[in-house]
Chains A and B, each alone.
Chain A
């Protein structure tokens, strides 16, 4: 085990700063951490069940009853009309795929780059990926006019020998989202196996015992098993990064490949990826705040330093997003297309112009105003509010691109304003389903990767070099 003196991501600023404020320098015995995570998983308050009940009711109403109405009566119950063939359902799709990006970004890219402060919340972020993609897929199904024939878009051999059209960006989209869902689910399950084995060994009986026994697939923690698991996780961590970047690029091509003014732009690919990270990072901050304030013992695992990391990432991504947004203006200005100009004028000065200003304030002004200060970044509730505002801004950004931008097309006779109808309860339904899945998962699987935290704590050490105390990190591999 080679020991290298390597500064932490953020070196200790003051001499008197207590190193124990960092999770990596505040180790607990493995058994105690296991017990804490298990207890957090088993603690449910009446409020938890009340919120779960309300969410179940919302989901049943919005995704059961309202969707039934939508299917039986047609898309006319939604607000879509002639120039705005695409409405809030596709806004939701893009939004939820964006949310799902942060999970992969945090767990794969930060794992590959060995950012140490990622350790306690990789799983929380990965869960967001999987559950966010579920909402995105559902939103696509809501959008279809004849959802009961959705399998015609799948490459299923049939007697008519009709294959899906692979020229269509929608087919690329379908393939990309399916690949991403599959990869991210596997990437969620792989690091989960040791923790499921831990949960299996600490469960006495009941239905949970066989549940964990099946999910842990007989993991015992031998040297060989760890070796295989680490190899698999490394392969996935590297392999999922291009998948992640490609998914949102391909989602953006749904729009960029269309010959509509305002959409047909080559910058949409990277712009959508950055936008996805922007909303995703903000969502991770919200989730971290909620986990920390509701789950027992999680104040030990999720600390100010993690909010600090998230805050820095959010600020960075916000700046990148601002650049791309500016760039999105540069290209039409350079091209000088009259229709592009009309779309921009409509989004800024049209009847929904206030959405555009709100978007800029939420996406740029708020993070830049509040995230430059370390003290503020380390305040969980402040970060959660900033994250919420960023997500409002990013939702509005997609709303402006899809139903607002589409109002302006090359046939001025058809210009008409879109207003969401049944989309509103169904959108609330997807949010409720996301929260519900997350709440149920938080009581079924250990949300903190204990083995990953312990691995990090073993590797970190405070050494005295001369008179200075230096934080060192041994490279385990």
Chain B
């Protein structure tokens, strides 16, 4: 039996399966690598444009990236792995949370998501180091400050007013578009009901032209994502399962 250990949400029980309200299914067979999700996420969440030099050095700050690796590089047998969109897996056992010294990387009890409290972050970058998926991006500079990047001033008009603009020295990561979750929840609450599956979706899932990314209720067995995962049991896997982070995103193996 689970016993409360005096800390909210922490029990002595080991979970085998991720539980939570929100989850995702990503079908690698459907993903065409078009990067629409990357652009949509950047627009929705005010992900800064880092500029030519920093991007070349590898300081891209996108919360989602499309991964593709060489499977075999030798000439006649050239083969690449299927595209794999990689974003915060919203782990149930998140390695990023216990290492933060200031409670900036925390677990939300109401949404069952990993949150990053930007105002709390002091920039030790331990969470980024400890993330097995390497999906946390750090604000290396004041990318959103027009005094630093005057060429980006015009882009500030497209910023999402629902999302904080982060300053230098804080860590950030995918939130499963928590502003959309909250909006849907507020609407449902005012109508006296629970949020329905498919009522809203995240920016990446919305922009995906092939519906490779699907977002929905994880706790509802009838929801679309649970149905899809159930119909492809041989293809379903979770990223880096051996680390036992219990991610809330299920991938459907591609190229099989």
B99 at the interface (CB under 8 A from A): yes
B141 in contact with A76 (CB, 8 Å): yes
Which of A77, A81, A143 meets B124, CB within 8 Å?
A143
Per the bound structure, the CA–CA distance linking A424 and B8 in Å amounts to 44
Give per-residue flags for A52-78: 1 if the beta carbon is below 8 A from chain B beta carbons, else 0.
000000000000000000000111110
- From A71, which residue of chain B is reached at the shortest CB distance? B169
**Shortest distance between the CB of A172 and any CB in chain B (Å):** 9
Interface residues contributed by chain A, number (CB under 8 Å):
42
B140 in contact with A80 (CB, 8 Å): yes
Give per-residue flags for A74-108: 1 if the beta carbon is below 8 A from chain B beta carbons, else 0.
11110011110110000000000000000000000
B132 in contact with A411 (CB, 8 Å): yes
With known contacts A145-B124, A146-B123, A164–B142 Cβ distance under 8 A: no
Which of B57, B126, B132, B169 meets A81, CB within 8 Å?
B57
Size bracket, chain B contacts = 35 or more
A residues near B134, Cβ cutoff 8 Å: 82-83, 409-411, 414
With known contacts A145-B122, A146-B121, A153–B170 Cβ distance under 8 A: no
**Shortest distance between the CB of B129 and any CB in chain A (Å):** 5
Which of B58, B68, B101, B128 meets A153, CB within 8 Å?
B101
**Shortest distance between the CB of B105 and any CB in chain A (Å):** 9
With known contacts A81-B59, A145-B123, A146-B122, A74–B132 Cβ distance under 8 A: no
B98 at the interface (CB under 8 A from A): yes
A residues near B122, Cβ cutoff 8 Å: 144-147, 149-150, 152-153
Give per-residue flags for B106-121: 1 if the beta carbon is below 8 A from chain A beta carbons, else 0.
0000000000000011
**Shortest distance between the CB of A284 and any CB in chain B (Å):** 31
Per the bound structure, the CA–CA distance linking A206 and B209 in Å amounts to 82
Per the bound structure, the CA–CA distance linking A409 and B64 in Å amounts to 18
B140 in contact with A412 (CB, 8 Å): no
A residues near B169, Cβ cutoff 8 Å: 74-75, 144-146
Per the bound structure, the CA–CA distance linking A80 and B243 in Å amounts to 25
Give per-residue flags for B4-44: 1 if the beta carbon is below 8 A from chain A beta carbons, else 0.
00000000000000000000000000000000000000000
With known contacts A75-B123, A145-B122, A82–B59 Cβ distance under 8 A: yes
B90 at the interface (CB under 8 A from A): no
A243 at the interface (CB under 8 A from B): no
B123 in contact with A413 (CB, 8 Å): no
B residues in contact (CB < 8 Å) with A: 54, 57-60, 65, 67-69, 86, 95, 98-103, 120-126, 128-130, 132-134, 137-142, 148, 168-171, 240, 243
